[in-house]
């Protein structure tokens, strides 16, 4: 297991990020989520606490962590509500009937996680 010297992104949300920092972090997260989805998985718990900070600005480097509740998106109907309040997609909470969570749920959570 790697040591993450700078902790998680939640530790840095007390002050606003510059546009350049927010763009760097967001683009890395988009690439990470794309990679997860391209390989047929849904993370299901994207939030600042699960975004690990490897290097601080001006050259931020982040990775997505905590795959404890991730699932193969095609193999299973992802109906269990195991996520963090505030970052949960409506279909995961049951607000959209007959709809299970999917990789699209990660996209919903991502938008809240990066609303810096």
Contact 83, 44 (CB under 8 A): yes
Q: What is the pLDDT along the chain (116 residues), one digit of tens a residue?
A: 788 999 999 999 999 989 899 889 999 999 999 999 899 998 888 899 999 999 997 889 999 999 888 888 765 554 544 455 556 655 555 555 555 555 666 666 666 565 64
Q: Domain ranges for the chain, please list them.
A: 9-113
Q: Calculate the alpha carbon distances from 85 to 59, 64, 72, 113 in Å.
A: 30, 18, 22, 12
CATH superfamily to which 9-113 belongs: Transferase(Phosphotransferase) domain 1 (1.10.510.10)
User: How far, in Å, CA of 12 to CA of 112, rounded?
Assistant: 15
pLDDT of residue 1: 76
Name the pTM for this structure.
0.69
Cβ neighbours for 17, distance < 8 A, ≥ 6 positions apart: 25, 116
pLDDT of residue 78: 46
Q: Calculate the alpha carbon distances from 14 to 11, 97, 116 in Å.
A: 7, 36, 10
């Amino acid at each position: 297991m790697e040591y993450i010297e700078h902790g998680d992104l939640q530790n840095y949300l007390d002050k606003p990020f510059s546009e350049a920092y927010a763009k760097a972090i967001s683009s890395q997260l988009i690439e990470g989520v794309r990679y997860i989805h391209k390989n047929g998985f849904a993370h299901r718990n994207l939030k600042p606490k699960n975004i690990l900070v490897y290097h601080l600005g001006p050259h931020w480097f982040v990775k997505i962590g905590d795959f404890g509740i991730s699932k193969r998106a095609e193999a299973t109907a992802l109906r269990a509500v195991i996520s963090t309040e505030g970052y949960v997609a409506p279909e995961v909470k049951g607000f959209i009937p007959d709809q299970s969570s999917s990789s699209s749920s990660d996209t919903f959570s991502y938008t809240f996680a990066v609303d810096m």
